[in-house]
């Protein structure tokens, strides 16, 4: 079942997924963002914990990319063409750390301990 | 146009995927310009760091088996027979009733020798409350043979330490000296206990010191526990303050002190304990020669206790003081005497509730649920569970120090975890608590002084020294059902005693606590 889902979602195997990836690449390139920049630490506290663990340079680069994208969006502009060619939207820096954080939290819950953080909706 | 676009798309997806390399980095190149390519993953510093981080995280997937050999999150029962062969304690009872107990450690060059006795603030009366503590202060201030400061000076000249403490049911005088000076230390102790002169000017000087100390204190952990005892055991001898009241201290005199020695420092209630570089026969000989002038009245402490038994009253005492930054409070249930077999289960329950302060190594990852709640939510500065046992009663509860705004959450956490011990107990938690208790008992007796204190205390409370093997067997006999039974006996729907000082406006009231000693669910 999961391998069927994987082959459905894999850009190498399915042209639908490849088209989706191409569209996303085009849009992310226009603003100079990476896919991992779209993960929101306020939405999921695991993302916040993963970002806390990443080295300073990576988080700084992410924040600068986000600031650049916010600035472009405010001015209703896109990134210059030469810079757009240099973008690498699917170079990941967060996925491994996020998987590790989720694995640790799952292990903690399996052992019957209280979670280290819980999202409270004010 | 659109059909051509779709066809070219389909053709491109079937081409061998040369554009997707290992890093999955290169986006689809635009057909027009081949000159500007996205930079490789080693161009920018953040990409280089991300790449090395990725390889490190990959290594975490396959941990080295050597590091997993002993670390497991599941507590296991391990046999400890190979470390339980301690040198045995030799006990001799002299004709006058004095018990001499020694445990010699052949590798030790120092020794601790002391006298532990069944006397304390409990055995005074309301008018003489404070005598035991006063006596402990006065007793080193000079004997017939040695002038004032003589005993202390002599021990210090040998390079030793002299120490004493008075507790509610136990008083101790002990000295830590080099192995060759043990007999001299016994001589000094015997002299100090039997031949002390209480000179008037020493008494008045000491009186001033104690009065000043009484006025200075008020907000320490010791004060919380003093208040707890005085409210829990009100109208009963255990509730008396060890230091006494100001009025009593002003009127204590020479006769009071001598009378106290005559009545309570009797040989059947005394144990001369020594540990370290000591030889049992030598100490026994010395004791026979020296401890001759003490009265050997055979009233035991148990008989005195039976005449005035302690009674527990469910009550609270709150001292509101908004000028100190932290609130300290203790919540306690009535427990049992030290000779009751359930006291071991209470010790395991104490380990299950655990203790925590901001310097604890375990932090948010400790085993006890109460500690997890407290540390993860940051609702206390420190907390500890305590279980004390006296001759006919005891106390079991939790003491906590917290900022004033989180007292409600903290009280909820404490009461829900304590009551949970009567409902839901997992075997893992019990095994973990048992292991912690065993290791803390053994780690505590790691020097000559703790061992001597342990000998004295055990001989006074149990009448014998419990060997570690037996103690461990008793601890291992406690399992989840025992914990539930003992918790139902002492915690379920029982009155409790609360004592609190500091900015405690938000601490819930007594009825709130009393309601949470039971749940309406199974």
Nearest one of B323, B270, B320 to B292, comparing CA atoms: B270
Angle between helices A45-53 and A95-110 in degrees, nearest 10: 120
Would you tell me which CATH number, out of the four given (3.30.420.40, 2.30.110.10, 3.30.830.10, 3.30.950.10), belongs to the domain B315-515?
3.30.830.10
Closest listed residue to residue B514, CA positions, set B431, B426, B415 = B415
- Answer whether B385's CB lies under 8 Å from B362's CB: no
Asked if B317 and B223 count as a contact pair (C-beta separation under 8 A), the reply is: no
B385: its two tokens: 């569970």
* Contact status, residue B102 vs residue B109, Cβ threshold 8 Å: no
Residues 357-386 of B with CB under 8 A from A: 364-365, 369, 372-373, 376
Structure tokens belonging to residue A55: 């080295």
**Residues B231 and B313: beta-carbon distance below 8 Å:** yes
B51 touches chain A (CB under 8 A): no
B201-237: per-residue pLDDT in tens? 888 888 898 888 888 877 888 999 999 999 999 999 9
Asked which of A25-39, A108-122, B347-361 is least confident by mean pLDDT, the reply is: A108-122
Return mean pLDDT, chain B.
Answer: 88
Put simply, whether B23 touches A (Cβ < 8 Å) is yes
- Which residue in B285, B327, B263 sits closest to B186, CA to CA? B285
Q: Is some CB atom of chain B closer than 8 A to the CB atom of A7?
A: no
Q: What is d(CA B470, CA B472) in angstroms, rounded to the nearest whole number?
A: 5
Q: Which residue of B has its CA nearest to A22?
A: B28
CA distance A92 to chain B (A): 8
Nearest to B456 by CA among B301, B286, B287, B270: B270
To probe the interface with A, which of B43, B46, B58, B420 has the most A CB atoms within 10 Å?
Answer: B46
Per-residue model confidence as pLDDT tens digits over A81-119: 999 999 999 999 999 999 999 999 999 999 999 999 988
Percent helix, strand, coil in chain A, to 5, is 65, 0, 35
pLDDT one-digit tens code per residue, B243-291: 888 888 888 888 888 888 888 888 889 999 999 989 999 999 999 999 8
Q: Is A110 on the interface with B (CB under 8 A)?
A: no
* Interface touch B9/A87, C-beta < 8 Å: no
Q: Per mean pLDDT, which range of B12-16, B343-347, B376-380, B509-513 is the poorest?
A: B12-16
Q: What residues of chain A, 55 to 94, have a C-beta less than 8 Å from chain B?
A: 55, 57-58, 60-61, 82, 85-93
Nearest to B262 by CA among B289, B215, B299: B299
Among candidates B41, B60, B26, B47, which has minimal Cα distance to A97? B60
Contact B498, B331 (CB under 8 A): yes
Q: How confident is the model at residue B499 (pLDDT cuts 50, 70, 90)?
A: very high
pLDDT surpassing 50 at residue B26: no
What are the extents of the domains in chain B?
91-307, 315-515
Interchain proximity A90–B17, CB inside 8 Å? no
How many angstroms separate the CA of residue B469 from the nearest CA in chain A? 31
Q: Which residue has the higher pLDDT, B4 or B486?
A: B486
In this structure, the dihedral spanned by the alpha carbons of residues B255, B260, B266 and B270, taken in order and rounded to 10 degrees, is -130
Position B273 scores a pLDDT of 94
- Which among B282, B266, B263 has a CA at the least distance from the CA of B274? B282
pLDDT tens for B114-134 read 999 998 889 888 888 889 999
Q: Which of A85, A90, A114 comes nearest B369 by C-beta?
A: A114
User: Among B136, B154, B169, B170, which one carries the catalytic annotation?
Assistant: B136
When pLDDT is averaged across residues B43-66 and rounded to a whole number, the result is: 91
Count of A-B CB contacts under 8 Å: 81
> Cβ(A78)–Cβ(A84) under 8 Å?
yes
- A3-111: CATH topology is Cytochrome Bc1 Complex; Chain F (1.10.1090)
Annotated active-site residue B136? The verdict is yes
ipTM: 0.89
DSSP conformation letters of B271-332: EEEEEES--HHHHHHHHHHHTTSS------HHHHHHHS-------EEEEE-TTSS-EEEEEE
pLDDT at B21: 41
Among candidates B27, B57, B369 on the partner chain, residue whose Cβ is nearest the Cβ of A100 = B57
Of B256, B241, B249, nearest to B212 (Cα)? B249
A39-43, B43-47, B73-77, range with the lowest pLDDT = B73-77
A 10 A CB-CB count for B122 gives 25
Domain B91-307 has CATH 3.50.30.10: no
User: Alpha carbon of B423 to those of B13, B259, B371, B520: distances in Å?
Assistant: 62, 51, 19, 11
pLDDT band of residue B10 (cuts 50, 70, 90) is: low
């Amino acid at each position: 079942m999961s391998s069927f889902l994987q082959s459905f979602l894999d850009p190498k195997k399915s042209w639908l997924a490849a088209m989706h990836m191409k569209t996303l690449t085009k849009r992310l390139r226009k603003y100079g963002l990476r896919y991992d920049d779209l993960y929101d630490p306020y939405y999921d506290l695991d993302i916040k914990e993963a970002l806390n663990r990443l080295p300073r340079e990576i988080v700084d680069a992410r924040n600068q990319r986000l600031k650049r994208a916010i600035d472009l969006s405010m001015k209703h502009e896109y990134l210059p063409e030469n810079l757009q060619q240099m973008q690498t939207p699917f170079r990941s820096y967060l996925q491994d750390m996020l998987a590790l954080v989720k694995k640790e939290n799952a292990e903690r819950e399996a052992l019957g301990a209280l979670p280290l953080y819980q999202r409270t909706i004010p | 146009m659109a059909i051509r676009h779709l066809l070219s798309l389909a053709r491109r997806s079937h081409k061998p995927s040369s554009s997707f390399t290992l890093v999955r980095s290169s986006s689809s190149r635009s057909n027009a310009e081949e000159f500007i390519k996205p930079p490789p993953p080693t161009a920018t510093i953040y990409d280089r760091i991300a790449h090395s981080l990725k390889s490190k995280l990959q290594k975490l997937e396959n941990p080295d088996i050597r590091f997993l050999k002993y670390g497991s999150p599941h507590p296991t029962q391990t046999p400890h027979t190979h470390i339980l062969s301690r040198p045995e304690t030799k006990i001799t009872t002299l004709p006058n009733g004095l018990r001499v107990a020694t445990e010699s450690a052949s590798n030790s060059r120092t020794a601790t020798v002391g006298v532990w006795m069944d006397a304390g603030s409990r055995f005074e009366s309301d008018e003489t409350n404070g005598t035991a503590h006063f006596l402990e202060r006065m007793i080193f201030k000079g004997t017939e043979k040695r002038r004032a400061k003589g005993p202390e000076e002599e021990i210090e000249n040998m390079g030793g330490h002299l120490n004493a403490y008075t507790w509610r049911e136990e008083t101790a005088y002990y000295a830590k000296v080099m192995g060759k000076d043990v007999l001299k230390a016994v001589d000094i102790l015997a002299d100090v206990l039997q031949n002390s002169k209480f000179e008037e000017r020493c008494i008045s000087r000491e009186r001033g010191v104690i009065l000043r100390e009484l006025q200075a204190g008020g907000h320490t952990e010791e004060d919380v526990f003093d208040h707890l005892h005085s409210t829990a055991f009100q109208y009963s001898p255990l509730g008396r303050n060890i230091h006494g009241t100001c009025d009593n201290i002003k009127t204590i005199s020479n006769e009071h002190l001598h009378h106290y020695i005559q009545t309570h420092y009797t040989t059947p209630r005394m144990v001369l304990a020594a540990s370290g570089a000591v030889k049992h026969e030598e100490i026994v000989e010395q004791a026979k020669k020296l401890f001759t002038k003490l009265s050997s009245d055979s009233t035991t402490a148990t008989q005195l206790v039976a005449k005035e038994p302690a009674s527990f009253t469910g009550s609270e005492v709150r001292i509101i003081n908004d000028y100190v930054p932290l609130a300290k409070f203790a919540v306690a249930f009535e427990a049992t005497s030290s000779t009751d077999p359930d006291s071991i289960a209470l010790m395991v329950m104490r380990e299950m509730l655990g203790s925590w302060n901001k310097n604890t190594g375990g932090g948010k990852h400790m085993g006890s649920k109460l500690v997890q709640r407290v540390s993860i939510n940051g609702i206390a500065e420190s907390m500890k569970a305590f279980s004390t046992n006296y001759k006919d009663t005891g106390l079991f509860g939790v003491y906590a120090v917290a900022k004033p705004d989180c007292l409600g959450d903290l009280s909820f956490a404490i009461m829900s975890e304590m009551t949970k011990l009567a409902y839901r107990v997992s075997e893992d938690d019990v095994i973990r608590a048992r292991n912690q208790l065993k290791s803390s008992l053994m780690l505590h007796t790691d020097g000559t002084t703790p061992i001597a204190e342990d000998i004295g205390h055990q001989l006074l409370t149990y009448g014998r020294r419990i060997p570690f093997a037996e103690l461990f067997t008793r601890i291992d006999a406690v399992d989840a059902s025992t914990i539930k039974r003992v918790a139902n006996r002492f915690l379920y729907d029982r009155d409790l005693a609360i004592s609190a000082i500091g900015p405690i406006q938000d601490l819930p009231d007594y009825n709130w606590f009393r309601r949470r000693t039971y749940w309406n669910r199974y």
